[in-house]
């Protein structure tokens, strides 16, 4: 049974995660995002990019997480496909919401193959992106 600790949460959601979120958020959310065609495309790219980064982390630092990270990549690609087929951004928002929960799980269980500051930054960026998508 995995133990839940506050160390990962403190680092990820603390100042390191906030600084990471500012940097990642500026890069991601600075785009003319989440409204018209080009910005919807960027939201879809963000969904898949968020999943691909975790596959890369598991390839670099701990390959035992490859099945798990590949499963979340397949889920992200599935939601991307549904979003493209239906033209609804809700599915992108759903994927980014689930990705924020994924990041929170990484912090709570202190997974070591992903930098905690990165997981924390992703939570902030994912939730900001979801808010922007749902507002439009």
* pLDDT on residue 124: 79
17 pLDDT band, cuts 50/70/90, is: low
Q: Classify residue 102: in a domain, yes or no.
A: yes
Per-residue model confidence as pLDDT tens digits over 64-96 = 888 888 888 898 889 888 988 888 888 888 888
Of 1 and 17, the structure prediction assigns the larger pLDDT to 17
Q: Classify residue 1: in a domain, yes or no.
A: no
Per-residue model confidence as pLDDT tens digits over 31-49 = 554 445 556 677 777 778 8
Q: Is the pLDDT of residue 57 over 80?
A: yes
Q: Is the pLDDT of residue 1 over 50?
A: no
* pLDDT on residue 5: 56
Rounded to 5 degrees, φ, ψ at 89 are: -80, -10
Total of domains in the chain: 1
Burial of 88-117, coded b for 16+ CB within 10 Å and e otherwise, reads ebebbbbbbbbbbebbbebbbebbebbbbb
- 0.75 cut: is pTM over it? no
Q: Classify residue 93: in a domain, yes or no.
A: yes
Instruction: Quote the domain boundaries for residue 88.
Output: 6-135
């Amino acid at each position: 049974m995995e133990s839940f600790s506050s160390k990962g949460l403190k680092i990820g959601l603390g100042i390191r995660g906030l600084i990471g979120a500012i940097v990642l958020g500026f890069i991601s959310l600075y785009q003319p995002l989440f409204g018209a065609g080009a910005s919807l495309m960027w939201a879809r790219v963000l969904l898949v990019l968020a999943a691909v980064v975790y596959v890369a982390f598991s390839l670099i630092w701990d390959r035992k997480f490859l099945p798990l990270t590949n499963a979340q990549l397949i889920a992200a690609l599935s939601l991307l496909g549904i979003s493209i087929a239906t033209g609804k951004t809700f599915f992108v928002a759903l994927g980014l919401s689930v990705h924020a929960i994924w990041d929170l799980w990484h912090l709570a269980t202190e997974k070591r193959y992903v930098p905690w500051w990165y997981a924390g930054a992703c939570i902030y960026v994912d939730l900001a992106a979801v808010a922007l998508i749902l507002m439009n």
